[in-house]
């Protein structure tokens, strides 16, 4: 058995620009609350438990934490929890954040910031995290239109030294091409998972061909999205999980990791036991037969209308 501190390294590593990270990371979206993320009536998570989960994630070898200033509940902020739990930040810990949406605390709607507002959003992330620069800032895109003005504003902040690397979130292939014409892109975060959004398959391959990390969110929850994982799973997933003495969640994460060496997963949880299971998914080695069976599961997703 590998030492606990190497658990997140079992799936290998990738380099975001010049920042090496283990391919099993941690997403902070669920830390501020219990239940459905972004729900206006969500209950704040126990503060000590959230801080403990973050610290244990680092003990397990997680060195890539994904967060955002718009991840908050009535009493908890993901950024503040990250700061409280992990500062002074250990060498090698990469914190990625997102800007673009400005979340309404009452309605939970995420209207897009203007390009002029992005500097203030970056500075808010710096303040909450207690940093003098941000390792990675992803522009989360809200629709199909052009992103040049928004991405260009972040590129200027990168030139000013407030941001080290830039990425994208919730984008289409044309957005990636547009952004790369402005500044280097080190990663893309899109909603994707086993049996969920298989129309993203080609985009995942494109990112790999261009040396860009693909970071799927909702890799576990799939169509359940902000409500989180739950309910019954596909019989094939359960059968493979039994063969590996693993959970269905671990098999889903392992499948995502097998999509390519550039795929980084960021499962999030506020439960210490779930955290350990998620990180341990990096040790799963699926056979070619199992991958073929899971590919059939993936292919069962109905094509979207239109």
**CA atoms lying within 13 Å on the CB side of residue 124:** 16
CA 263 to chain centre: 11
Q: What is the mean pLDDT of residues 28-32?
A: 93
Q: Distance between alpha carbon 83 and the CA centroid of its chain, in Å?
A: 18
Alpha carbons 235 and 118: distance in angstroms, whole number: 45
CATH of 15-299 given 3.90.1150.10, 3.40.50.2300, 3.20.20.100, 3.30.450.20 = 3.20.20.100
Element (H, E) at 253: helix 248-257
User: pLDDT tens for residues 127-148?
Assistant: 999 999 999 999 999 888 999 9
Q: Which residues, at least 6 apart from 235, have a Cβ–Cβ distance to it below 8 Å?
A: none
Please give the Cα distance from 140 to 190 (Å, whole number). Answer: 10
Q: If DSSP codes are grouped into helix, strand and coil, which group holds residue 141?
A: coil
| Pure H helices in 70-143 | 78-86, 118-129
Which helix H or strand E contains 55, and what residues bound it?
Answer: helix 47-59
pLDDT at 1 over 50: no
**Across 2-16, 19-33, 61-75, 186-200, least confident range:** 2-16
Q: Where are the domains of the chain?
A: 15-299
Q: Which of 71, 89, 192, 196 is catalytic?
A: 71
Whether the predicted pLDDT of 223 surpasses 50: no
Residue partners of 146: CB distance under 8 A and separation at least 6? 178
* Band of pLDDT at residue 4, cut at 50, 70 and 90: low
Phi and psi of 96, rounded to 5°? -105, 135
| Rg over CA atoms, the chain | 18
End-to-end CA separation in angstroms for the chain:
49
Catalytic residue at 71?
A: yes
Residues 290-301: tens digit of each pLDDT: 999 999 999 987
């Amino acid at each position: 058995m590998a030492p606990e501190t190497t658990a997140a390294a079992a799936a290998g590593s990738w380099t975001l620009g010049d920042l090496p990270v283990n391919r099993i990371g941690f997403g902070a979206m669920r830390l501020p609350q219990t239940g459905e993320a972004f729900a206006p009536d969500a209950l704040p998570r126990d503060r000590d438990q959230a801080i403990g989960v973050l610290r244990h994630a680092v003990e397990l070898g997680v060195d890539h934490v994904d967060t955002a200033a718009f991840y908050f509940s009535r009493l908890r902020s993901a950024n503040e929890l990250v700061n409280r739990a992990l500062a002074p930040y250990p060498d090698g810990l990469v914190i990625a954040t997102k800007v673009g949406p400005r979340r309404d605390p009452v309605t939970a709607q995420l209207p897009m910031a203007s390009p002029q507002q992005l500097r203030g959003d970056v500075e808010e992330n710096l303040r909450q995290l207690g940093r003098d620069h941000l390792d990675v800032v992803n522009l989360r895109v809200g629709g199909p239109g052009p992103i040049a003005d928004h991405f260009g504003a972040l590129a200027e902040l990168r030139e000013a030294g407030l941001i080290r690397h830039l990425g994208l979130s919730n984008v289409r292939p044309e957005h990636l091409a547009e952004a790369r014409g402005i500044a280097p892109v080190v990663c893309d975060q899109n909603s994707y998972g086993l049996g969920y959004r298989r129309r993203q398959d080609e985009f995942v391959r494109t990112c790999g061909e261009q040396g860009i990390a693909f970071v799927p969110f909702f890799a576990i929850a799939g169509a359940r999205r902000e409500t989180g994982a739950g309910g019954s799973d596909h019989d094939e997933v359960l059968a493979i999980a039994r063969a590996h003495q693993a959970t269905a969640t671990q098999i889903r994460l392992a499948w995502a990791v097998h999509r390519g060496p550039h795929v980084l997963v960021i499962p999030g949880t506020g439960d210490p036991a779930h955290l350990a299971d998620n990180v341990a998914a990096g040790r799963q080695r699926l056979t070619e037969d199992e991958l073929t069976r899971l590919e059939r599961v993936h292919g069962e997703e109905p094509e979207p209308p239109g």
